Amino acid sequence: MKFHIITYGCQMNVYDSRMVASLFEMDGLEETDNPEDADIIIVNTCSVREHAERRALGRISSLQKLRREKPELVLVVIGCMAERLGDKIPGADFFIGPRKYDRLPEIIKKIVKGKCQISNFQFPKECIPYPNPDGGVTAFLPVMRGCNNFCSYCIVPYVRGNAVSRNPDDILGELRYLRERGVKEITLLGQSVNEYNFGEISFPELLRIIDREALGIRIRFLTSHPAYMSDDLIDAIAECDSVCENIHLPIQSGSDRILKLMERRYTVDGYRHWIQRLRKRIKGIALTTDIMVGFPTETEENFEETLKIVREVRFDFAYMFMYSERKGTKAALFPDDVLLGVKKERLERLIELQNGITREKNEELLGREIEILIERKSRRDNLPIGKTRTGKEVIVKMQNAKTGEYVNVYVESISGWTGIGRTHKREK
Ligand code: SAH
Ligand code: SF4
Ligand code: F3S
């Protein structure tokens, strides 16, 4: 029997899909890239914005044709939308949301009707099996599940449940498992990862523990919440060789009034403070962020405050979104009063500004010699492609640079946002 997985949403969903794949494989099933070959199709969904849900619903509906042609086909919907809507989703056989993932092995068994034994799967107490990285150079490793922050716009705490930090021993176990399988870069995951706390162990402490075991592996982490920043965390990033000079710190808005309505628990000045500390202590650190436009009551003036902080901070990269009302959140009680046309126009202006900055930031790579970890071959010309420690993509003009290898590259040009380099500086 074969299964096929379609994944929407964030890094946590990407990880969860690998976890589900490992469970099916333990039950003797084989993964296939082709939905038409599959006996079981799993759609892993996201609820963060209406658009994300619409895409997944569209996909589920387009799979109905296959279902009609092959009545024994089983369609399973997992992820945040399965939690939020459950069997209100038309056209599927099983629904299971993240709050019930500790029951996945049991449910998968029901789906497969197999006999294979799976022991004690209980996240976060035990995470068995660890998802197989399948020869990949990079992998995700969740250190926390769920979120308690209840930012007023956000559905995640409702669909993912309370924040639970994972036992460091279990985290190290998975880290070793990945290391033994040749993974060279691990991104630690948590909705508010710097809030991690297990007994006496804080997030900076966890980074130090992981650093001792990393042995040549690059470590990144996502997503940090400005309200949980600390000098100790900045010190840990600076001290730990494995931890990359790179932080994702969503600002959301440049207006204190809007930040308050979002219940983000920091001010623009507070945010600025951490940016200054980070840049001072960690040379060349790359800063990325998330920004939302069109939150209820956002005025043109408030939006311009967002543009102002974007100009001031000069993020290396930003994910930018239009506010999307999510039923059940506190912000859904506010009138969604910024007209769609206005939201669109603000988003366009923001993207134009930030993309210019991103381009300029990437141009700073020019003429520099930088360590690149080769991740894969580029699709267009089959050249090795990898990332700097700061997370920027560079194509390496050297056919024999192997995936998983670290190479020192001299960046000689930029195409779009991607650097192009060779391993040795060319003599004039
Ligand atoms: N835990 C992370 C990621 C949350 S979802 C964090 O705290 O940043 C990723 C991003 O989606 C958020 O940072 C936010 O910018 C955006 N987002 C969340 N809910 C949204 C909504 N209702 N409408 C539009 N964007 C939203
Ligand atoms: Fe959502 Fe806020 Fe939690 Fe991030 S920190 S997942 S934005 S509630
Ligand atoms: Fe989406 Fe759930 Fe992630 S709502 S962003 S898949 S936590």
428 compared with 155, residue with greater pLDDT: 155
Q: What is the CATH number of domain 369-425?
A: 2.40.50.140
Confidence bin at 118 (pLDDT 50/70/90): very low
The answer to whether 246 and 391 have CB atoms below 8 angstroms apart is yes
| Alpha-carbon torsion (73, 83, 221, 316), positive or negative | positive
The model's confidence at residue 209, banded by pLDDT at 50, 70 and 90, is very high
Which residue has the least CA distance to atom 7 on ligand 3? 156
The whole-number pLDDT of residue 263 equals 98
For 358-398, the pLDDT digits (tens) are 999 999 999 999 999 999 998 888 899 999 999 999 999 98
Give the distance (Å) from ligand 3 centre to CA of residue 321.
14
Q: How far apart are CA 39 and CA 391, in angstroms?
A: 38
Closest ligand 2 atom to Cα of 147: 3
Tens-place pLDDT, residues 60-102: 999 999 999 998 898 999 999 999 999 899 999 889 999 988 8
DSSP-derived pairing of the beta strands 144-145 and 384-387? unpaired
- Ramachandran bin of 326, using left for φ above 0, alpha for ψ from -120 to 50, beta for the remaining angles: beta
Asked, colleague to colleague, whether 131-363 and 369-425 share their fold, the answer is no
Among 39-53, 129-143, 352-366, the range scoring the smallest mean pLDDT is 129-143
Q: From the CA of 149, give the closest atom in ligand 1.
A: 7
Which residues approach ligand 1 with their CB closer than 6 A? 48-49, 153-154, 156, 191-192, 223, 225, 250, 252, 290, 292, 321, 323-324, 326
13 lines ligand 3 (CB under 6 A): yes
Q: Which ligand 1 atom minimizes the distance to the CA of 252?
A: 15
Using 50, 70 and 90 to split pLDDT, how confident is the model at 416?
A: confident
CB-CB neighbours of 42 under 10 Å: 25
Amino acid at 84: R
Q: Which CATH superfamily is domain 2-126 in?
A: Methylthiotransferase, N-terminal domain (3.40.50.12160)
Is there an atom of ligand 3 within 6 Å of 45 CB?
Answer: no
The three-state secondary structure class of 317 is strand
Which ligand 3 atom is nearest residue 44's CA?
6
Q: What is the pLDDT, as a whole number, of residue 71?
A: 87
Distance CA 276, CA 390 (A): 17
Q: What pTM was estimated for this model as a whole?
A: 0.94
Q: Which amino acid is at 402?
A: K
DSSP state of 239: H
Ligand 3 atom 1: residue of nearest CA: 46
157 CA closest ligand 2 atom index: 8
Would you say the CB of residue 159 lies under 6 angstroms from ligand 3? yes
If you take atom 4 of ligand 2, which residue's CA is the nearest one?
191
Residue 82 is inside which H or E element, if any? Answer: helix 80-85
- Alpha helices, DSSP H only, in 196-285? 203-214, 231-239, 256-261, 268-281
The CA 262 to ligand 3 mean position distance, Å, reads 18
**What pLDDT band is residue 112 in, cutting at 50, 70 and 90?**
confident
Instruction: Give the three-state DSSP class for 70.
Output: coil
Q: What is the pLDDT confidence band of residue 423, given thresholds at 50, 70 and 90?
A: confident
Three-class secondary structure of residue 31 per DSSP: strand
So where are the chain's domains?
Answer: 2-126, 131-363, 369-425
Question: How many angstroms does the Cα of residue 163 sit away from the middle of ligand 2?
Answer: 11
CA neighbor of 24 nearest in space, from 4, 7, 8: 4
Contact by Cβ (8 Å): 172, 213: yes
Superfamily of domain 131-363: tm_1862 like domain (3.80.30.20)
Task: Express each pLDDT in 166-203 by its tens digit.
Answer: 999 989 999 999 999 999 999 999 999 999 999 999 99
Q: In the numeric block, which tokens belong to residue 123?
A: 């996240």
